[in-house]
Amino acid sequence: MTSIGLVLSAGGMNAAAFHAGVLAAVSEATGWDPRTADVIVGTSAGAATAVSLRAGLCAADLAASCTGSPRSAEGQTIADRVTTRLDIAEPVTRSGAWWPANPMLPVRELLSSKRPRPVVAIAGVLPEGTASGTTIAERASQVLPGPWPQDPTWICAVSLDSGKRVVFGRDDVDAEIGEAVHASSAIPGHLAPVAIDGDRYVDGGSHSTTNADVLSTLGLDLVVVSSSMTAVPVAASWPDGPIGRAWHSRTLRREVEAIRSRNTSVLVVQPTTIDLAIRENGDMDRSSMAEMCEAAALSARACLAHPRSAAARGLLKRAAAGSVAT
């Protein structure tokens, strides 16, 4: 058996379209079905995509949702379960002091001997968000009603009280699938934190937009990473890329090194300059999702065709053949 992990990054509607294009292209080129991944790691928008896959939505249907193409009968059945619109309420106007959500977080980051996590520090300095993200939870619960998926599905968030990363579905935290996706998507300072078992949780992208390193010790044959908020080196290097993208790209490189150090192959698909040129109106823009999805599919095909991806290609085809055989 060939064991494969799948990592789906944060990045709003851009990420949803990027993941859809990447997964559709990988599936078409190799025959591998992302729904069969041995473990899926999702952060923020990637968490929603992870839930869709575990609900049974195939890669082609994910892409169809972005491009407006017809879905399969199975995909349409799943889509019809979702009756809540993805509307994020405007933040409530604050009165009085502008209180930091947790002023101890920047202090802890400053004193920590580990690699700094500036977004975690910023999350502590910002006030608690006031916009409601409950529609995120409702939609995730409608896509995948019932208990947590049987196949490992790990959703990453950050505790606003401790600053630590929490992985729902792996760690000892009792959360329903909807509230886990909601917590993983709660942008600090904008969306209200999600309270679970007396703790407050915010966007897992505060720790890392990919969180791929949670797979580093599993001994998998291959990890596939779809990363929307990083970029290929020519687009992410200093000083060409925005500081945030450069930082996230460097973080992902460290995570990939940790995975490869355990003799696990890694296939990383991330935006090229062509992908980035389409993104003009921010992460939550829905107007270019079809174009972003199609561009991501082209980037994924090009990545798979590169000689350095030969091992990953072979593993994906072997996994696909094994699934057919069983």
- Matching residue, tokens 């959703």: 155
pLDDT confidence of residue 116? 84
- Contact criterion met (CB below 8 Å) for 215 and 7: yes
d(CA 134, CA 54): 21
Q: How confident is the model at residue 239 (pLDDT cuts 50, 70, 90)?
A: very low
- Contact criterion met (CB below 8 Å) for 213 and 259: yes
Half-sphere exposure at residue 14, Cβ-oriented, CA atoms within 13 angstroms: 20
Task: Concatenate the DSSP letters of all residues of 278-319 into one string.
Answer: H--S-TT--TTHHHHHHHHHHHHHHHHHSGGGHHHHHHHHHH
- Contact criterion met (CB below 8 Å) for 41 and 156: yes
pLDDT confidence of residue 287? 83
Could you tell me what percent of the chain has a pLDDT over 90? Answer: 82
Structure-token pair, residue 6: 């799948």
Average pLDDT of the chain to the nearest whole number: 93
- Contact criterion met (CB below 8 Å) for 129 and 192: yes
The mean-pLDDT minimum among 74-78, 175-179, 275-279 falls in: 275-279
pLDDT confidence of residue 96? 52
pLDDT, mean of residues 177-196:
96
What values do phi and psi take at 243, rounded to 5? -55, -45
Rg (the chain; Cα; Å): 19
Helix (H) or strand (E) holding 236: helix 233-236
Would the pTM of this model clear 0.85, i.e. be above it?
A: yes
pLDDT confidence of residue 97? 61
Could you report the per-residue pLDDT of 49-64, keeping only the tens digit for each? 999 999 999 999 999 9
Could you report the per-residue pLDDT of 195-232, keeping only the tens digit for each? 999 999 999 999 999 999 999 999 999 999 999 999 99
Could you report the per-residue pLDDT of 141-171, keeping only the tens digit for each? 999 998 999 999 999 999 999 999 999 999 9
Could you report the per-residue pLDDT of 3-56, keeping only the tens digit for each? 999 999 999 999 999 999 999 999 999 999 999 999 999 999 999 999 999 999
Residue 52 CB contacts under 8 Å (≥ 6 apart), including other chains: 62, 78, 143, 144
DSSP state, residue 99: -
